[in-house]
Amino acid sequence: MKLLAKFAAALLADQPTCPTGLTTWNGSDPAQRFAVYRNNVIISLIDALADTYPVTRQLVGDDFFRGMARDYARKHRPHSPVLAYYGDIFADFVDGYLPAASVPYLSAVARLEWSYVSAFHAADACSVTHEAIANLMADPNRLPNACFTLHPSVNVISSSYAIVSLWGAHQDLMSLSEVDPFVPESALVQRIGLSVDILRIAPGDQEFIARLRRREPLGEAVGAATSIDSAFDLADCLGLLIRSDAIVGIHYNGPLKP
């Protein structure tokens, strides 16, 4: 094996080890010096995950989180130097992580936090003008066939757990003792201006926005939202998207129109 391959293998080994071929000026055991590199590699990845998942960390405490992050980092090494996107499948990992089984909503919160980071760094885009929206609304025949392009930061998540309330309690928006984690909630995650906003929305809104994200026509999205949530209100939900500048394109089943 080549020198750097041996070096890398020893860095990644589960048990402390030291590659051959290293020297020290004072004849000291190079293993202790090599451990500095091993430590840097794993700690920097744990720190990156701690930055991305602050609420997940607070829910289980620092020690437990760092142990879990260490296990993740050993199993899922980064493949890119862009560490902002490291930890993309952390929620799936947490979901199957037995030591965390007593906190069943942990992976759901992690999934929400991943959406937060994705929204934070998502591409910039300008919303359509209010005039374009007014023109669309004034044409009821075309309305059902209209498809929207939503802002790249927009995402929706539905969960069996109170993800928005749990998250909000860690932003000092409410007290954690007031939260029943076992109440299903849906979240709208989007960047408004320079800040990421997480809002609790109704199941119908969640279904509607999820379908718009997939570029399904408005008519079909309304049908799907109404079928799961009889209280779905199109005007309210569209109003929410318009006020937050979330609609960045409108087209009609195919060719783009301004």
Partner 1 sequence: MTKQASTFPLMGDATLATSSLPSRAGIGLKPEHFKEILATNPGLGFFEIHAENYMVDGGPFHHYLGQIRERYALSIHGVGLSIGGEGPLSEDHLDRLAVLLNRYQPESFSEHLAWSSHGDVFLNDLLPAPYTRNTLRRVCNHIDQVQSRLKRRMLLENPATYVEFAASTFAETEFIGEVVRRTGCGLLLDVNNIYVSCVNHGCDPAAYLRALPIPCVGEIHLAGFSTDVDAAGDRLLIDSHGSPVASEVWDLYANALGLTGPVATLLERDNDIPAFRVLMTEALRAEAMMEALVADIDTEPLYA
Interface residues for partner 1 in 126-165 (CB under 8 A)?
Answer: 152-153
Can you say how many angstroms the Cα of residue 68 is from the centroid of all Cα atoms in its chain?
18
> Which element (helix H / strand E) includes 251?
strand 247-252
The binding track of 44-63 with respect to partner 1, each residue x by CB under 8 A or -, is xx--x---------------
Of 79 and 255, CB closest to partner 1: 79
Asked if 55 and 167 touch (Cβ cutoff 8 Å), the reply is yes
According to DSSP, the residues that pair with 201 across neighbouring strands are 186
Q: What is the distance between the alpha carbons of residues 93 and 68, in angstroms, rounded to a whole number?
A: 9
Of 32 and 160, CB closest to partner 1: 32
Q: Which of 13, 16, 37, 236 binds partner 1 (CB under 8 A)?
A: 37
The binding track of 197-236 with respect to partner 1, each residue x by CB under 8 A or -, is ----------------------------------------
Of 46 and 147, CB closest to partner 1: 46
> Which element (helix H / strand E) includes 240?
helix 234-243
Q: What is the distance between the alpha carbons of residues 212 and 225, in angstroms, rounded to a whole number?
A: 11
Spell out a b/e string for 115-140, using b for 16 or more CB atoms within 10 Å of the CB, else e.
bbbbbeebeebebbeeeebeebeeee
Q: Which of 14, 15, 25, 243 binds partner 1 (CB under 8 A)?
A: 25
192 binding partner 1? (CB under 8 A): no
According to DSSP, the residues that pair with 200 across neighbouring strands are 187
**Total chain residues near partner 1 (CB under 8 A):** 48
Q: What is the distance between the alpha carbons of residues 29 and 22, in angstroms, rounded to a whole number?
A: 9
Query: At closest approach, how far in Å is the CB of 19 from partner 1?
Result: 9
Stretch of residues binding partner 1 (CB under 8 A), selected from 59-67, 100-108, 117-125, 244-252: 117-125
- Joined together, the tokens standing for residue 128 give 């359509």
Q: What is the distance between the alpha carbons of residues 165 and 213, in angstroms, rounded to a whole number?
A: 24
Q: Which of 30, 67, 144, 223 binds partner 1 (CB under 8 A)?
A: 30
Which phi and psi angles does 248 have, rounded to 5°?
-115, 0
Interface residues for partner 1 in 68-97 (CB under 8 A)?
Answer: 77-85
Q: What is the distance between the alpha carbons of residues 165 and 93, in angstroms, rounded to a whole number?
A: 23
Of 85 and 105, CB closest to partner 1: 85
Stretch of residues binding partner 1 (CB under 8 A), selected from 20-28, 133-141, 162-170, 180-188: 20-28
- Joined together, the tokens standing for residue 140 give 């009821």
**Residues interacting with partner 1, by CB under 8 A?**
2-5, 7-8, 11-12, 21-34, 36-37, 40-41, 44-45, 48, 77-85, 120-125, 152-153, 191, 194
